[in-house]
Amino acid sequence: MKMDRIYIRDLSLRCIIGFNEEERREKQDVLINIVLCADLRKACRSDNIKDTVDYKTVKKKVIDLVENSSFLLVERLAEAIADVCLENERVDTVEVTVDKPAALRFARSAAVEIERRRL
């Protein structure tokens, strides 16, 4: 059965990301897209925030993580974001895409997309 989905789209943040010396000096832009997969049937019936994934809380945790992080690889940043999302007990699966706009000359961005499930 396909899970219900909550989207956090185009979260634009800045962090230290990359392994080149010039990438380590100043924060760079990253664009983050998150899909939180959960069973939302109870919330659909109750209309109560307690029965759903509070995506504002998830967003705040992701912002705190990213803006205070310093990773070498976009892959590691994506994994850390997925871990934060899976801290919410209602989230069964999360899909995270991290775009690094300045990564490649002549390209709009380079991106990594991962999917992680609750174990």
Q: Over 90: is that where the pLDDT of 23 sits?
A: no
For residue range 39-83, list pLDDT tens digits in order. 999 999 999 999 999 999 999 999 999 999 999 999 999 999 999
pLDDT of amino acid 21:
87
Catalytic residue among 2, 27, 50, 100: 100
Ramachandran region, residue 80 (left: φ > 0; alpha: ψ -120 to 50; beta: rest): alpha
Q: Which CATH class, in words, describes the domain spanning 4-117?
A: alpha beta
42 labelled catalytic: no
Q: Would the pTM of this model clear 0.85, i.e. be above it?
A: yes
pLDDT above 80 for 1 = no
Measured torsion, CA atoms of residues 14, 15, 16, 17, in degrees rounded to the nearest 10: -90
Q: Delimit the domains of the chain by residue range.
A: 4-117
